[in-house]
Amino acid sequence: MNEKLLHYIWKYRLFNQSNLYTIDDQKIHILHPGHHNQNQGPDFLHARIRINKIEWVGNIELHVKSSDWNHHKHSDDDNYKNVILHVVWIHDKSIDISFPTLQLQDITSKLLLHKYQNLTEKKKFIPCENIKPDLNDLLLLKLKERLVIERLQQKASQLQNSLEKLNFDWLELFWRLICRNFGGKINADAFEKIACNTPIKVLIKIQPDLFQIEAILFGQAGLLSHHHPDEYQRKLGKEYVFLKNKFSINKPRININYLRMNPNAFPTIRISQLAMFIHSNANDFLNILNHDNLDEIIKCFRIGTSDYWNTHYIFNKKSRFKKKYTGVEFINTIIINTIVIMKFLIEKNRNDSSYVENSINFLEKTKAESNLIIKEFQKNKLISKNAFDSQAYIQLKKEYCDHLGCLDCMIGKQIFKI
């Protein structure tokens, strides 16, 4: 037994309430278990109980053992002066308190404890994968909506902090988020540092010249040298030195990684595609977010590279000719992690009452991600038909399953129903 499970049992009254007696044989009725307190002080506030026909209103403290009251020194803490009941899993010791104690061990279903043990004792990809919870379509939809909204709110909260630090410069925020997501999981932080040290307004000034955009981005990534044997790399290096001084750009300290990566997603290819994106869209940058037509947004991100990269994956090593366009999965990732969240944040800041609904609708029109998490949920017959589904399952996995947060999960609550 742990206090989290004990709190859950008490909060949802998952114990036999038909004939309750305290440790000192007083008849007790639980009229209201109280409101769960996440801050300092007793665990449940404003509870209502009846003992021997007298109704009491106050706070309730829970412990696994009665002796924990003394271990935590609650008697010396003024926050616990209004406690009216001590609820414990096991009464291991008589303590000097002025209110009764209720033990739950003997009146709680062993089946519930068995279910909890099955969920938490074995390390599984999804804790409940061997249990078949009773999930109807309506309940599953409610679960996914809650998870998607939760995920959008978390991402938006992080971006809101960045936006405020940028004095509400939406253009710069959009640029940094795009750049980060072009970096993928492996180079996301490095690409974001490139963006933070390369203002989008500088790139807009040189927007007509793809070569100059590449020079700045490759230079900021630390991939250039004007003494290198590769002619194109030397030219870019020379141009970078000129532009860096002209625009007073600070070069970030970053490490670019190529390990365990498909060559089509090499950082060199992504930087060239990013340069092409700016070259093609810089004059209409923020207006991309005004598109409600998904196909129009896809067109904006369906981009290739400069000619040099048709025959290269890295500098100074020629490869078979291949035009390297952004793929469907990459574009979907950009839409999910950049476009949708930016739209969500913009509409939220405008106090648009339908900002949540609009973002959900957009996700429903976008293809689902294809990754290990989604495949594992699919094995458990939780299929992702679109990005709304896949984002919900990613949130479920990362925020609940990985932390054994079954007590806070809708699926877990269904499992624990007695």
Predicted confidence (pLDDT) per residue in 362-377, tens digit: 999 999 998 999 998 8
Instruction: Tell me what the mean pLDDT of segment 242-267 comes to.
Output: 93
- The residue with tokens 């974001």 is 192
Q: Is the pLDDT of residue 120 over 80?
A: no
Instruction: Tell me what the mean pLDDT of segment 397-410 comes to.
Output: 87
Identity at 404, one-letter amino acid code: L
Instruction: Tell me what the mean pLDDT of segment 11-23 comes to.
Output: 89
Q: Is the pLDDT of residue 418 over 60?
A: no
Q: Rounded distance, CA 248 to CA 145, Å?
A: 46
Q: Rounded distance, CA 65 to CA 93, Å?
A: 8
Residue 129 CA: distances (Å) to CA of 119, 125, 126, 252: 9, 8, 5, 45
> What's the pLDDT band for 122 if we cut at 50, 70, 90?
low
Instruction: Tell me what the mean pLDDT of segment 268-286 comes to.
Output: 91
The proportion of the chain whose per-residue pLDDT surpasses 90, expressed as a percent, equals 70
Domain ranges of the chain: 3-108, 166-365
Mean pLDDT estimate for the chain:
91
> What's the pLDDT band for 317 if we cut at 50, 70, 90?
very high
Residue 143 main-chain phi, psi, to 5 deg: -60, -45
Q: How many CB atoms lie within 10 A of CB 122?
A: 10
